[in-house]
Structure 1
Amino acid sequence: MLSNDAGFDQIYILCGYTDLRKGIDGLSALVEQKFNLNPFQNVLFLFCGRRTDRIKGLVWQGDGFLMMYKRLENGNYQWPRNEESARNISIQEFRWLTEGLTIDPKKKVKKSSPKRSV
């Protein structure tokens, strides 16, 4: 389910640390109260605790919430910890995250213009 990203309108990750002992009610309240987002949409919300080998996902399915939990056996998620905000990510960034890659590039290629015309 977490790798099937085609069914979601948007994907949000909650940066920083989340207490993964929270259940559906606690996580949906966190989305609504702390981040001012509507949890009753076709949006996947992803949470990560202090241990970066597990994440939880929450999505509204029209008649109730679906909560997903994934624990990696080997490796860790490269979760953004530098801010406490909800961050809208692209499908490509979602794939990178689930593959253990970072979604924050360390160095970007600078665009340049030609120095002389040929």
Structure 2
Amino acid sequence: MLGDLSGTAKIYIVCGYTDLRKSIDGLMAIIRDQYEMDPYSNALFLFCGRRCDRIKALHHEKDGFVLLYKRLDAGGRYQWPRRRDEVRDLSRQEFRWLCEGLSVDQPKAIKADGNRQF
């Protein structure tokens, strides 16, 4: 189904700035050539531009690619990690935080091993 991300195995955030004028093929090339990852894997790849108010998400389904685009209203900005050479694996909770405009590095979040992080 178009854009159904519930079965996605991994969520990756492509840190740094991405030229959001890129289409599916351009974003696939970044994933494949720059980060040596498989754009056809069961993963969601997230990209953000310089303004930090819009993101693109690329996901491969059985019959083709889905490109999602979201722009925040009213001056909202994504808290996007900017280290250019990094692709980061996100948990579903970190993905929700990001989509809500929060940082993926919450200082008081409970870590996966059950310990509080202070």
Q: Which runs of 5+ in 2 are unaligned?
A: 109-116
Q: Are 2:56 and 1:53 equivalent residues in the alignment?
A: no
Amino acid corresponding to residue 9 of structure 2 in structure 1: D
Asked if the contact 1:5–1:91 (Cα under 8 Å) also holds between the matched residues in 2, the reply is no
Matches within 5 A, 1:18-57: 18-57=18-57
Residue in structure 2 matched with residue 72 of structure 1 by the alignment: 72
Q: Are 2:83 and 1:99 equivalent residues in the alignment?
A: no
Residue in structure 2 matched with residue 112 of structure 1 by the alignment: none
Give the structure-1-normalised TM-score. Answer: 0.84
In the TM superposition, what is the alpha-carbon distance from 1:39 to its structure 2 partner?
0.4
Amino acid corresponding to residue 19 of structure 1 in structure 2: D
Number of positions where the alignment pairs a residue of Structure 1 with one of Structure 2: 108
Amino acid corresponding to residue 63 of structure 1 in structure 2: D
Which whole-Å CA distance do the structure 2 matches of 1:90 and 1:106 have between them? 15
Asked if the contact 2:17–2:84 (Cα under 8 Å) also holds between the matched residues in 1, the reply is no
Asked if the contact 2:48–2:54 (Cα under 8 Å) also holds between the matched residues in 1, the reply is yes
In the TM superposition, what is the alpha-carbon distance from 1:6 to its structure 2 partner?
2.2
Which whole-Å CA distance do the structure 2 matches of 1:64 and 1:6 have between them? 17
Tell me the secondary structure at the aligned position of residue 44 of structure 1.
strand
Give the structure-2-normalised TM-score. Answer: 0.84
User: Greater CA radius of gyration, 1 or 2?
Assistant: 1
Which whole-Å CA distance do the structure 2 matches of 1:94 and 1:18 have between them? 18
Residues 32-88 of structure 1 show CA distances to partners (whole Å, capped at 9, x for unaligned) of: 010111000121000000010000000000211110000001211000013421100
Question: Sequence identity, in percent?
Answer: 54
